[in-house]
Amino acid sequence: MNRLHLARIAAVAALLALPTAAFAQSDPNWHGYNDRGGYGDRQGQIGGIVSAFSPYNLDLDRGTHVDLHNGTVINPTGITLRPGMRVQIYGYWRRDGAFEANEIDVRGRGRRY
């Protein structure tokens, strides 16, 4: 066998050795337990600074509207979202242009929350 053939065999063997979880985490349509420690849809993520918050509604500083639902996880647990907080939001875009949040992680405002 020549070196090129051996290199191809080694590459295929390496791909087969990868755990299936690696493929699931890279799939944008994957739904299920995620690497952030919760359940949720991983179709998208956005970040920004909270400009307004009321139950089930969140507006970011750049005009993006985010809808929350029963079961939306807010980390750290027990925190109340307030204007000025920096957040990372995981969820998906709806057809009406709003972002549906499954998880919101507060990143802080110059200090750790």
pLDDT at res. 7: 64
Number of compact structural domains in the chain: 2
CATH code for the domain of 84: 2.40.50.320
Residues 25, 57, single domain; the answer is no
Residues 27, 52, single domain; the answer is no
Q: What is the pLDDT of residues 83-113, one digit of tens each?
A: 999 999 999 998 888 899 999 999 976 444 4
Residues 46, 80, single domain; the answer is yes
Residue 93: φ, ψ to 5°: -85, 135
pLDDT at res. 77: 92
pLDDT at res. 2: 73
pLDDT at res. 10: 67
Question: In which region does residue 51 sit, left (phi positive, over 0), alpha (psi from -120 to 50) or beta (all else)?
Answer: alpha
pTM of the model: 0.59
113 within domain boundaries: no
Q: Which residues of the chain have pLDDT under 70?
A: 1, 4-8, 10-43, 109-113
Residues 73, 24, single domain; the answer is no
Domain that holds residue 20: 3-31
Residues 50, 103, single domain; the answer is yes
Any idea of the CA torsion for 78, 81, 87, 88, to the nearest 10 degrees? Answer: 60
Residues 45, 96, single domain; the answer is yes
Residues 13, 61, single domain; the answer is no
